[in-house]
Structures are given as C-alpha cells and as structure tokens.
Chain A
Amino acid sequence: MNEPTAENYEPENSGHSQRVDWTGLVNRIQAGDPEGMEELYRVFSRGVRFYLCRQLGPQELDDKVHDTFVIVVQAIQRGELREAERLMGFVRTVVRRQVAAFIDQAVQARRERQDVESGAHVPDRRENPEQYAIERQRAELMRQALEGISRRDREILTRFYLLEQPQEQICAEMRLSETQFRLLKSRAKARFGQLGKKRLSRSSLMSFFLRTNTVLEH
C-alpha cells in the first residue's frame, strides 16, 4: 500500500492543493513569525482537535487544543525538533502525551474524590443524553440489519467486532477465505448504510467537532 508521508501530504483543509514546506514552516516558527504559527495551526488544528476529542471527549476541548499548540511552538522554538520533516511525528508525540496526562489527571482527581466522599457514587461518564440516544438509535438499526442476515454471518461478525478475534483465526475456524470475510463485512456495512441513510442524522460528536473548529486566538 502506498502509505501517506510528509512528502505526499497535501492539506485538504486549505481550500486548494499545496505542498507544505516543512523546513520553511519550522524555520518561521523558530523565528517567531506569526504567519508561521498561523500556518502550523491551519495545518494541524483540525487533526489535533479530532484526536483529542476522540480520546478525551468534547469537554474543554478548545483549552486542550490551545495548550497542545503552545507546547509544540515552545518546543520548536527551543530547538527540540531537529528534523523539520518529522514535524507530523513531533506533533503526534505531543498530542499523545497530552492525552496521557489528561487521563492521568482525571483518574487521580476521581480517586481523590472517591476518598473524600468515602464510597459515594461516581457519576457515569455518559454525560450527553442526546449523544446516548443517537448511539442507541444507531444500534437499533444495526440490530435490524443483523437480524436480516444468517446466523453464521452474525457469528462471524460477533467474533470479529465483539470478541475481537483476529481475522486469521475466524477465517480458519469458520472455513472462510479472506475475500469471503471481507465481502461479508462490506455487505453488512452496506446493509446498515441503506437502513441508516433513511433514518439517521449525523452524530452529534462529529457535528460538535466541526462546529467548534475555530481559529487560534492569542
């Protein structure tokens, strides 16, 4: 497979295809050029926001995105990024560290809260009833789609998605070729898609994420 790299990346959110000059970008950020920082934000903001939202949920997302960019810019200015071509990997490392730190903080905070409240109920993290309702509605559609397929096909999907068995194991045990396995999965997806097209709206997570894709403010 021809995997994407820094060299063949063309940002789609720029409105037109253009290659990013990573070295020039890093040089401008190091020099404190505001246009360099704007470009960094334009290239990465949607992706950083998406990654953080997917891992941590939408709470205080703007602050988290902002903090991440501050860390990236400061690290670049301190000269911690030695190869400009590695900028994407560098941003990824910072974002992953941010996710780990936020999780750690939240777990510690919850533990302290539990200690103080001596066994009080910890609220469910399913904070958004609208989101939950959409997920249940989608699952109900899926259930209808799955009940229309054979028991054997359902077992294969159960093994793959629910029991998380590797594809190789499923194919061996269910006597399936790789192509049959892929076809079964894509048929299930198409079936769900047809039902869903008629009845579902976009997820609130995605629309939230798109709505709040704002520009960096200093």
Chain B
Amino acid sequence: MLRDCKCSVSEETVERYCLGRLESEELERFEEHLLVCPGCQDRVAASDEYIAAMKLALRDIRARQAKPAGPRWNPLRWTPLLAAGVAAAALAVFVHFRSPAGDPAPHMVSLRAIRGFEDPAAAAPAGALLVLKADLSELPEMPSYRIAIADQGGAILWQASGTPEQGQLTVTLPRKLAPGRYWVRLLGGGNLLREFGLKVE
C-alpha cells in the first residue's frame, strides 16, 4: 500500500523520472525532494516496478510475435485466393520491417543503470542491426564518450565515439552480433565509466 503522499509532484513527473526523462533542472528539483519525501520514494519504487514489468512483457509479446507460427492448418486446403492474400500480407510485413537500403529495421537496445550497475535484462535479437542507447545519468559530463563492444572474454570487437544528447549516448553498430553474451563499455576521458551486459539471442 502506498503511503498517502500529500506533496504536489504529479504522477507524470514520477514516471518521467523513472524513465530517465527529466531534464536537468527538473531532475535536480525532484531528486532533492525525493531525498526527503517517503511518499515519493514509494511512488518511484512502484513506478519502477510497473515500468520494468511493462518492458519485460512488451519484449515477450514482441518476441512471440516475431516467431514464425507453426502450421495449424492443412496447406492443401488453401484456396489460391487465400494463398495470394497471405503472400501479399507477407510482402507487406517484409516492406514494413525493412529499410530502403534493404537491411532489417534496427533494434533499439536501452542500456540503463538501474538498481545495479547495469540492466541485466538488456537483450537483443541476433541478426538485427543494433542501436545502443546508453544512459549517462550520474556520470561526469563530457563532450564525447566512447562505446566499446567486448566479447564475453573481454576482447574488444568494435568501438566508436559519440556525442551525448539529452543525457544519452546513441550509437549504431555497423555489424551484426552473433548470439552470445557481450559487454558494452562506456568510456570517457580515457576511463572506463560504466559496463553493461548485453545478451544477443
């Protein structure tokens, strides 16, 4: 049961905080308040739980939808019209999920430091072009950061620099990753600032 919170902070502000979307001044104000408001601490904890469940569930639903459905009917019973319809639908899906260059639509991976050093649930599909979005909150501000992908043994596979925007660093991997576990390292000023786990499956 959430305690009765008498303060004036809106639900939307709490949710935006949990999603890492508060801008600097608003973030500062809210975090100062959070340090002394048990009601908002409860609300943030509840919102964190809700968002985590939402992300996991949406990821599950997407993964299920992405799996090809097994044959549930006898193909011999398909009429040519139905077959043509299915082909048209398949083509529509193909067009929808492919960029003009012919590559699959990139998959966004959010790397967030939350309740630990990294989000253990960061997962991405094999064979997809990956766009990595790293949360820079709590880190020293720098004009640019470096992201490196290491394999499970720590060998660097790829690295690049990027300029932060609104507290986040976004980079697109130029190559696809084979299934396995990787480490995404965030470096700034020559120091390793953060490390996130990434599971490609």
Chain A interface residues (CB < 8 Å from chain B): 1-6, 9, 11-13, 43-44, 46-48, 50-51, 53-57, 88-89, 91-92, 95-96, 99-100, 103-104, 106-108, 110-111, 114-115, 118-119, 121-122, 124-126, 135-136, 138-143, 145-147, 154, 157-158, 161-164, 182, 188-189, 192, 203, 205-206, 209
10 A-B residue pairs with Cβ-Cβ distance under 8 Å, sorted by A, are A4-B9, A11-B36, A51-B31, A54-B45, A89-B28, A95-B35, A100-B138, A103-B117, A125-B117, A143-B57
In the complex, the chain B residue whose C-beta lies closest to that of A17 is B6
Complex interface bits, B36-77 against A, C-beta within 8 A gives 1, otherwise 0 = 111101101100111111111111111000000000000000
A110 to B153, CA, bound (A): 12
Interface size on B, residues (CB 8 A): 64
A4 touches B44 (CB 8 A): no
Interface window among B79-87, B88-96, B193-201: B193-201
In the complex, the chain A residue whose C-beta lies closest to that of B107 is A163
Which residues of A are found within 8 Å of B10, using beta-carbon distances? 1
Minimum CB–CB distance from A42 to chain B (whole Å) comes to 10
Q: Summarize A's interface: helix, strand, loop or mixed.
A: helix
A107 touches B56 (CB 8 A): no
Which residues of B are found within 8 Å of A189, using beta-carbon distances? 50
B35 touches A57 (CB 8 A): no
The answer to the question of B175 belonging to the interface, with a C-beta cut-off of 8 Å to chain A, is: no
Decide: A96 near B138, CB < 8 A? Known: A104-B193, A205-B115: yes
